[in-house]
Amino acid sequence: MKLSEWAARNGVHYQTAWAWAKEGRMPVPVVQTPSGMWLVEESTPEVVGRTVAYCRVSSGDQKADLDRQVSRVVQGAGGLGLAVPH
């Protein structure tokens, strides 16, 4: 992405981002094209956090239904690449 777009998205004035790029102080990887334009190398953001699965039934008589529900939800999350701690 263009340096000006990155600056706008991150609340940094374009001239500040340009100075950082020239001085090698950018917090993200940048490259300068042969024409002199600065481009920010886009990377996939690392998701930090945890996965929480919520399951419930109306009464204690439905314990077996709850176990099946938990199994389906944990399996579905695993299919999406999310780890649900037990």
Catalytic entry in 43, 58, 59, 71: 58
The distance of Cα 12 from the centroid of its chain, to the nearest Å, equals 21
Identity of the residue numbered 72: R
State pTM to two decimals: 0.50
Q: Mean of the pLDDT values across residues 5-28? A: 93
Q: Does residue 35 have an active-site annotation?
A: no
Query: Mean pLDDT in the chain?
Result: 88
Per-residue pLDDT reduced to its tens digit, 38-60: 999 987 666 667 788 889 999 98
The reported pLDDT for the residue numbered 47 is 63
